[in-house]
Every structure is written in structure tokens, then in C-alpha cells.
Amino acid sequence: MFYMITNLSGRDEQKAAESNFMKKTAFQLHLENRQQGSNPQLRTDTWLFMTKLFVACAPLNMSSDDFEPDGSLVDRMSTIAALASNIAQCPLNPSPNTHNKFIGLPTTLSPLALVLAPPIHTLTLAILGLIPIVLVLAPIVLSLALNLALILHILGLALLLTLTLLLALALLLTLALLLGLALLLSLALLLSLALLLDLALLLDLTLLLSLIPPILTSLLLLALALDPIVLGLAPPNLILASLLLPLVLAHLLVQSLKLPLQFVHDFLLLQKKTKAAHPPKPFLNTSPPPRMQQMKNKKMRALDNSSMDTRQHCFKSGHFLTTRGPKNAMQSYVDYVVRSVETLKFMLIWNSLEQQPGGQDTKKRHLAKLYASLDPKTQKAIDDLRTQVDQE
């Protein structure tokens, strides 16, 4: 529309544009009282636009004489300055009939009206608006820090520090409730949320509203319903808001801690199941399993009870070495050599006695005495060897 007005030419067309433009603002400015012949070039689109802007943000208790377009350009600029001064001097708690037709919200909630207001009001609202933002974002930031610590398996100092910060935040909220600061925090949160929604409606930022989580959207609606300025600072509503805000903050804190606490619980449960499924092995476990010990004993008994041929075969193939270690293997080898030497010695004595003259009884007694002095394994080896010789 502003572009359309700037491209109009002629007195009649400009007059029609001014009339249509003012009618659409819902403000009756009594255009019929204007003087048609005095300086028509001064009725510019800039004047119309500035008038539209300031009238839209001003209360409706101003007369139409304040918007009379006659006079010099300096008079018109002074009129605009007077409008701005009037807006700046309007109270923070207007009457219920005072309403902003431009955005449909109270005048004092308009960002433009707040800018034109004395600086102390904007500074106070800005400081109070930081308090609920910190209180709402602190649990979320701490939750993200806890998740990061768990993901990186930094369960030592990071977890202790995070839990300490959460405990400090809980103590701070408890102290605020005990000292009566909940009323101030409730007012600040409701003001900041109302201003945020006011800005979104003014600039038509639908993207901003779509990015706000559902629970924060419900808080915005609650702020509109319990806004202290809309309700005229009614004590019952402030008491209700001060009682409701800690509950909402506690709910937000619990929801932000629910996921990391569940993660910690699942992690500890997984560690417990892993330890139960895979028990730790002892540092020194020298005792062999029962099955291996039984097989070793069976193998040793078979080796001890075998004949000389079996022993020789085991010695040649290397099977006489047992799994009991090199000491036992060497002992078995020494025993085998000793038995072989004793057997060979006995056979040589026997052969020499057979060739010597003399009685057979003396030779037999001597061989029997020598045979009895040998160990059973050597005797068995001698018997096997004599049997083999007799067969040949």
C-alpha cells in the first residue's frame, strides 16, 4: 500500500488514496475538515506512513486535531514529536479500554511502545527477562553436559561436577522459594514470555513459534492468561502464577534429567550383566582343568604299563614326552636308559654264565639273585627280551 501511494499522481488520486488508507486503519480522522487548497504537496506519503505508524501504537484517547495535516513541514514534524512524547508518557498500566488495534495486544506490551517509553522500563524488563531464560535453559545445558560426559565415558570428575551444579541449582530454587523470590521470578518469566509472543505476532514470525517446543508454547499461552499487565496486577492471579511457576520449572527440570538418568541406569545394568557373563580370570591359575588332568593321568598309566617295544616306539616317535613338563619328560628318559642298561647287563651276565663251565644250579642261583635285585619294570623288559630270543 505504501508503494501504491508513492506512485500516485494528481491531487484527486492522492486525496482518494489518503481517504482509503485512513479508512482501513479504523481511525476516523475527519478528512472532510481538511483544507483542499493549502500546500497540497505537503500531504506526502511520508506523512501518511508516519501518521499510520504512530497512531497505530498510540492509545485511542487522542483527538483528531492532533493529526490535522495543515501547516508547514516543521509543524508536522513537531506534531510527530508530540505524538512520540505522548506515547512515551503513557503509563505502564493503562486502563482496560486502552487497547492497541494494530496487533491486538495491550499498548504497553508493544515493542515500539517499550522503546519509546522511558529507558528505565526497558532496562528493568530486559534484566528481569534474563532470569527466566537462565532458569529454563540451565537444566537443558546441564543435561547436555551430562550426556556428553556419559558418551565420552568421563564418569569421574565430569559426572561429579555436573551433579554438583544440579544440586546447586536445586538449592538455589529452594532458597528462592523460601525467601519469597518466586513472585518476582514468576512476574519476570511471564513478562518475558508475553514480550516474546508480542514480538512474534508483530513481525509475523511463524517460524519462531514453530521452533518453540510444545511445553514452552503452553507456557506462552499460560503467560497470556496470567499476564500481570493484562490482569492489572491483580493479587490473586499473581499468587496463582507464583505457585504455578515453580511447578512448571520443576517439571522442566525432571524432564531434562529423565533421559540422562535413564542412560546412566542402562549403562550400569549393562556393565553388571557383562561382568556376570564374563567373570574375571585369576591372576595365577596353575591348576589344570579336571578333564585335562584325567587325560594326562591316563596317558602316563598307559606309558608306565606298556612293554619295551611300546616304550621304544614311544621314544622313537617322541610320544614318551608327556604334558607334565620338561622335568618329568627327562626323568622318563633317564628311567628308560637305566632299564635298558640293566637289561643289557643282565643279558651279558647270562650269556657269560652260559659259556662258563660249572654246575647249572650255581648259575641259576646267581641269575635268580641278580634278577631279584632288579625293579619290576626291568624284570618285565628282560622277560620280554628272553621271549623274543626263544622265539627266534
Q: How buried is residue 113: exposed, middle or buried, by Cβ count under 10 Å (0-12/13-18/19+)?
A: buried
Q: How far apart are the first and last CA of the chain?
A: 134
| Residue ranges per structural domain of the chain | 2-32+41-90, 119-277, 290-391
Instruction: State how far the Cα of 344 lies from the Cα of 339, in Å rounded to an integer.
Output: 8
Least confident of 21-35, 78-92, 186-200, 316-330: 21-35
Spatial neighbors of 209 by CB under 8 A, at least 6 apart, are 200, 217
**Mean pLDDT confidence for 126-150:** 61
Q: Is the model more confident about 131 or about 76?
A: 131
Task: Give pLDDT, residue 332.
Answer: 67
Query: What pLDDT does 5 receive?
Result: 38
Sign of CA dihedral 52, 53, 57, 63: negative
**Residue 114 Cα distances to 142, 298, 344, angstroms:** 34, 99, 123
Band (pLDDT 50/70/90 cuts) for residue 63 is: very low
Compute the distance between CA of residue 346 and CA of residue 312 in angstroms, rounded to an integer: 19
Residue with cell 639273585: 369
Query: In this model, does residue 184 exceed pLDDT 50?
Result: yes
| Rounded distance between C-alpha atoms, residue 341 and residue 32, angstroms | 147
Residue 52 has pLDDT above 50, yes or no: no
Give the integer Cα–Cα distance in Å for 152 and 267. 13
Question: Which has the closest alpha carbon to 215: 193, 198, 200, 236?
Answer: 193
**Per-residue pLDDT tens over the stretch 205-227:** 444 445 455 555 555 555 545 44
pLDDT-based confidence at residue 268 (cuts at 50, 70, 90): confident
| Per-residue pLDDT, 371 | 75
The three cell numbers locating residue 239: 499468587
Calpha distance 110→80 (Å, rounded):
19
pLDDT tens digit sequence for 30-47: 344 344 434 444 344 444
Q: What is the dihedral of CA 100, 103, 106, 112, to 10 degrees?
A: -90
Q: Please report the pLDDT score of residue 194 as a whole number.
A: 54
97: pLDDT strictly greater than 50: no
Instruction: Give the pLDDT of residue 137.
Output: 65
Average pLDDT score, the chain: 55
pLDDT value of position 69: 47
Task: Using the predicted structure, report yes or no on whether residue 274 has a pLDDT greater than 60.
Answer: yes
Q: What is the pTM of this model?
A: 0.18
How does pLDDT run across 338-372, given as a tens digit for each residue?
Answer: 777 777 677 767 666 676 666 666 667 777 777 77
